[in-house]
Amino acid sequence: MNKRELDFHRNKSDKYEPFTPQAAIRAFENEIVPIEYFIYKSTSVKSIEEKPYNFEAIDRMLSHKHPDFQTTRFLISIFGEMVTDRDAERALYAAEGINTIESRYNKRIEHLKKKLKKHDSMEITQELARLYYEIALINEKQRDIKRYFLKTAYYYLKETQKGRTLSLPNLELLINILLEFKFYKKALGTIKSVTKEDNPRLIFLLAKVEFKNKHYTQVYYALQELRNHIDSLGEDTKKLIAYWTGEDGTTA
């Protein structure tokens, strides 16, 4: 599981959030949260999610040429809300922010496509699949556009599979694409066809797919199995395990 998934696009009720710059830098050093936590905690007296939004903090995040995807989704969620603001200046700012993010994706995609025409490369094909998947999720509210990008991501991913076994990152990407299409049974069949590995990422992915298929007992067993890897798990995953196993005093 990506160690940076504890990020700005989060639910405070079940994920760790450092409340001081010192706590944020310690969490970053231990790979619990991205560095952006320290940036906004050290420059702002309030969380970036709180309204009215801190535009300087948002600008700093937007100015990063290669932000992680979760940060990008967080920005899109903010801009998506602001674009309907009655304040014309705020709405324009949000629209420009969305355009900036989408333009970056389009430029990277076109650059890779040109490279792929000159040289057939599995690495480039894999990267195109990932980028199309990400831009599909960015267009969450535009169903037809999202579906088109998901189909394109699936196409590039299947190209990398010809005569090869999917790597774990690509397997995760394939499963997530199938889940976005709501092909839950196909996702389950796909992951179960893979040789069973004692890998926490694969176990967590299985739990996710079982949950989508409403096989809650199997989710419980998978998360129980994850306890064998507890020292390598992030705080969000540990809390998820505690919830499903009843260790936090609740029952799933």
Domain ranges of the chain: 1-118, 120-195, 197-252
The overall average pLDDT reported for the chain is 80
CB 208, CB 174: distance < 8 Å: no
Q: Which residue has the higher pLDDT, 30 or 130?
A: 130
Percent of the chain residues past pLDDT 90, beyond the cut = 36
Model confidence at 59: pLDDT above 80:
yes
Backbone angles phi, psi at 151, to 5 degrees: -60, -40
Angle between helices 143-161 and 122-138 (to 10 degrees): 160
Q: Which residue has the higher pLDDT, 26 or 216?
A: 216
For residue 98, the model assigns a pLDDT of: 94
CB 216, CB 191: distance < 8 Å: no
Average pLDDT over residues 123-151: 94
Model confidence at 22: pLDDT above 80:
no
What is the Cβ-side half-sphere exposure of residue 135, based on CA atoms within 13 angstroms?
Answer: 26
Q: How does DSSP assign 52-71, residue by residue?
A: SP-HHHHHHHHH-SS--HHH
CA distance 236 to 224: 15
Model confidence at 248: pLDDT above 70:
no
CB 150, CB 180: distance < 8 Å: yes
| Coil, helix or strand at residue 200 | helix
Model confidence at 212: pLDDT above 50:
yes
Would you tell me how many other CB atoms lie within 10 Å of the CB of residue 125? 21
Model confidence at 152: pLDDT above 50:
yes
How many DSSP H helices and E strands does the chain contain?
12, 0
CB 21, CB 31: distance < 8 Å: no
Residue in 17, 42, 48, 21 with CA at minimum distance from that of residue 32: 17
User: Which of 7-21, 150-164, 168-182, 187-201 is the most confident on average?
Assistant: 168-182
